[in-house]
Structure formats: structure tokens, C-alpha cells
Amino acid sequence: MATIRDVAREAGVSTATVSRVYNGSRLVTETTTQIVLEAAARLDYWPNNAARSLSTNRTHVLGVVLPDLFDEFFSEIIRGIDHAARARRHQIILSCFHDNADELIATARSMRGRIDGLIAMAPDARSAQAIAEISRHFPVILLNPGFAVENCGSVGIANREGARSVVRHLRSFGHRRIAILRGPVGNTDAEERLRGYREAIGAGETQHQPLELQGDFSKSSGVLACDALLRFDPLPDAVFAANDYMAIGLLTALLEKGIRVPEDIAVAGFDDIALARYTNPPLTTVTADAYRLGATAVRRWFSASADGGSGHQRDILPTRLVVRESCGAGRSGPDTTDTETRHQHESNAGGPS
């Protein structure tokens, strides 16, 4: 394979000049540039990135570490990251890990010299700690952590405001007794959504009996919750399930018992999984833009690394209510409404080359 020296010889210039051509230095004459490029083409030369990285200490590669649970949400995140990175002429190294903090840290370490930074999703506190360790070496951005981690920027979604918008929506149809089907205890998304629900309910002051059911984000827990729901007396007007899977389980169970949705009881979910549009009735839910989550993480990474890598700024991405028919909306209404959650610390993106 041709090296920069071969090109230099072929073009009759020094390696420095060739290098300058490839790095866009303005110090090289137009004619020299042409000569060099032609020589390079003749030899099929392409710069060796390993050598470049060694010399410059920059790789133009971003590490991405995600849990092993692949689904539409994750692939959208990756797509967002890839596009944003590509727009800034960076590439990404992807690694999944298997809910094991040690493996995570080993992965991240083994990337030393291969990446300029890291975007990671830490499932638990221990992994987050491990990541904080890593952030001494290069900027790290956490995706949707529930907690603040020292020295790491982070990007999350507006769970609370999303939950509030669901309750507001249900209210707008006159529903007053609104139940919630909670997600797993300890899960940050679940707890933020619960908080949003409580705030919205509290604000309305129409509810005297707590209408909270425990679920675990699985479809079957939605099915199970149906019985408990029916034991409330009088029957609630509506249920907000903290994610779509539970909402779908609930829908199935209700359908089976002959209870009509939304006539007898309204149901809403959270996440807007692909399936939500095909349930019977189509599920009103909240969408979080996974693509944007990924893209924002990249943007945040670039600004962090321009700042020298420190700081722990946080972005919260807005969610959007997706109105379908499970809460009583007819086909005539607007299809979606924006919850207008404000971005925090949103900064513009111009990173370094």
C-alpha cells in the first residue's frame, strides 16, 4: 500500500507538502496541490488513519456503548448518532454490553486510542460510576441517565412533562378519575412519569382516592392490572399506563371482558412503539424522539469537547403527545399536539472540524 512517502517521491515534493495537501493547509500552491493529488491517484493512496491518530492524538471516532436490548428505539438512537456524527465527519464504534459494569468498563478501556469520546447508556448506578471513571480520559455523554454523574454531560427525555400532557389530554375529554399503571420501582423513566402524573392530578384537585396500580413495563403486567383496575369503585374514567406494552396488555384484557375503550374507559400509553398505531383502538401515547436523542448527544459531545471536556450539562428533549383514538379523540381532531417542553442548556452545535 502506498504511503505518504511514495506519493511525495512520485510528485517530487516532500512528505510535509503531501500532508499539507491532505489537511487542507492553505499554504500550498494550487499547482502543487494538483500535482500531489494526481500522484496520489496514480498510486491509489489514502492516508492511514492509525498513523494520523498517533500523530495528532485525535481519531475522529466516537464510541457508542448501548445495552444489548435492541429494538426500534435503540436503532433510532444509533441512526441519530450516526447522522450527526457523519455530518461532522466523524465515525462511530458501536458496542453492546450485557448489563455488566465490568464488561462496560473493559470495553471502554479497550477503546483507548481508538476514540475521541464516548456516548453511553448506563443501566444502573454502578455502570454510571464506571463511566465517570472513564470520563477522566475523554468527554463522555450519558444517554437518559436518571441521575447526575460527575463530569458527564447527559441527554434525557421529558418524562415528567410527557406524563403531565397525557393527563391534561384526558382531562380535556372530561375524564376526572384518572388511574395510573406504574412502571417498575427503581426505574428512572417510570418514576419520572409517575411524578408527572401526580403533579398533574394534584393540580386538578378532583381526585380523593389514590388510583395507582403497580406494573413492570411488561405486556403481561398490563393484562394482570386489568382485574385490579376493575376493583376500583366507581370505575375510573381513564388509565395512563407508564409505557405502551402495559397499555397494550390492558387493552387486550379489557377487550376480552367486553369493556369498551374509550367509551367505558380511556387508555393512554407512553413511548409510541410501532405497534401502538395498530392496536384496537389505536393507542394515544407519548413519543420521545430517539433519533433526536442520539443526535443531541453527539451535539452535546462536540460542545463538551470544545470546552475541554469538563462540565455536566444536561439536555432534556421534549416529548410529543400522539393523539389516537383510545382516549376518545375522533378522526376529526388534530393528529398530534406538541407538549412544548423547553430545552435546557440547548447550545448551538458548531464543533471543531
DSSP code per residue over 155-212: EEE-HHHHHHHHHHHHHHTT--SEEEEE--TT-HHHHHHHHHHHHHHHHHT---S--E
| Nearest CB to DNA, comparing residues 21 and 122 | 21
**CB of 92: closest distance to a copy of itself in angstroms?**
6
| 114 lines the binding site for a copy of itself (CB under 8 A) | yes
**CB of 245: closest distance to a copy of itself in angstroms?**
12
Residue 278 interacting partner from a copy of itself, DNA, none (CB closer than 5 to 8 Å by kind) = a copy of itself
Member of 61, 120, 226, 317 binding a copy of itself (CB under 8 A)? 61
What stretches of the chain show up as alpha helix (H) in DSSP?
A: 4-11, 15-22, 30-43, 49-56, 72-87, 101-110, 125-134, 159-172, 188-204, 219-231, 244-256, 290-306
Binding residues for DNA, rule: CB under 7 A, are 1, 3-5, 12-20, 22-23, 26-29, 31-32, 45-48, 51-52, 54-57
Rounded to an integer, what distance in angstroms lies between the CA atom of residue 237 and that of residue 111? 53
Stretch that binds a copy of itself, among 23-31, 42-50, 189-197, 309-317 (CB under 8 A): 42-50
Amino acid at 333: G
| 59 lines the binding site for a copy of itself (CB under 8 A) | yes
Spell out, one character per residue from 132 to 171, where the chain touches a copy of itself: x when CB under 8 A holds, - when not: -----x----------------------------------
Burial 232-264 (b: 16+ CB within 10 A, else e): eeeebbbbbbbbbbbbbbbbbbbeeeebebbee
Residues that bind a copy of itself (CB under 8 A): 1, 46-54, 59, 61, 68, 70-72, 74-76, 78-79, 82-83, 86, 91-96, 109-114, 137, 274-275, 278-279
